[in-house]
Structure formats: C-alpha cells, structure tokens
Amino acid sequence: MNRIRALAFAFVFTFSLGCHAADGFSLSSPTVKAESQLTNDQVFNGFGCEGKNISPALVWKNAPKGTRSFAVTVYDPDAPTGSGWWHWVVVNIPATVTKLDEGAGDRSGKSLPEKAMHIRTDFGYAGFGGACPPKGDKPHRYIFTVFALKTEKLDLPPDATAALAGFMIHGEVIAKASFTAYYGR
C-alpha cells in the first residue's frame, strides 16, 4: 500500500508542476550517446581528475507548442553529498535555438547562444564542470536534460545557485527530455 501511495504522490507532484514528456520532444548528443560511458573530453580537470572538461554537443527537437525558452542541466544524483551534484546549468536559451555546440559550457560564456547564461554549479563557478566521481565508487549517472519553458527569461541574479535555478525552471516547465551517461574511476 505504501508503494502505491508513493507512486500516486510522485505522479500528482510531477504533473502538478506542469511537467510532462511532450510527444516527440527529445534530447541527443553527437558526442555522448545515451547509456554510454563519458569520455576523457567530458571529465573534469581538477579534484584528482585529469580530463579536458569540455561540454558535449546537445541537440533537441520537437519542442512542444508554447515553448518560449529552454534550460539545460547536467546532474549527478549519485554524488556523495546528500543532494547530488550540479555539473551544468544553462538558462534563457531562446526558443529558436535547438542545440548547444561542443564546448558551449566554457566558463567565458562566449559560446552560448545570445541571451543564454550559465548558472553557478556545485564546482563553485558558472560553466560546465565535467564528471569526477570519487575513486572506487560505482559509475555515477550523469543526467542531461533540456527543459521547454513557458517564459522567455528566468529572472535570476548573476550569482544564483543551481538549486534556485532548478526551482525557477520547475515553476515554468512545459516538458523535458533527458538522457543518461555514466562515468566511474
């Protein structure tokens, strides 16, 4: 009975936020395949990891009617923090944009579409931070998500946290599309 209640709560909570999978709305990457292992390109350079820290290219299609902007996140729910780890948050991507090029996560923000902005991640800076799970952990999941939003702009301060951005995203979401990749060391 508790399982049924939990499933019912999850269903009601998700749909009360207005978030659902739109028919055909999808996210993919020419540089990271769903359910695959991340490469050294997407591994962080620091904290004992020696990767290139390059954000992968992302492509989305079939956004739902009413989409006025997009947000993109990369999240590791397996990080040993009690709250996971935000690796990348981009907001205010115009509705006319359907991709982020490889390297768009550069901290300078110069490779982002006009009007889009990075949000500070759990690495402490705004920009992409690659995978870097603790040595010996099972491979972590890295969930890449694009959110179709019903607003043109999330009004976030320049020093906003990923949690605040997530709150704002979930308040404006029409639909989302995700895929997961893995990395362990």
- 52-65 pLDDT, tens per residue? 999 999 999 999 99
CA atoms within 13 A on the CB side of 176: 22
SS3 (DSSP) at 180? strand
Q: 82 falls in which pLDDT band (50, 70, 90)?
A: very high
Taking the model in full, what pTM does it have? 0.88
- 83-127 pLDDT, tens per residue? 999 999 999 999 999 999 999 999 999 999 999 999 999 999 999
Residue with structure tokens 């993109």?
Answer: 72
How far apart, in whole angstroms, are the C-alpha atoms of residue 44 and residue 47?
A: 8
Domains of the chain in sequence order: 19-183 (3.90.280.10)
Query: What is the secondary structure of 136-161 as a DSSP string?
Result: TSPPEEEEEEEEEESSS-----TT--
Bridge partner residues of 61 (DSSP): 26
Cβ partners under 8 Å of residue 138, min gap 6: 78, 184
Q: Which alpha helices (H) appear in the chain, and where do they start and end? A: 2-16, 162-172
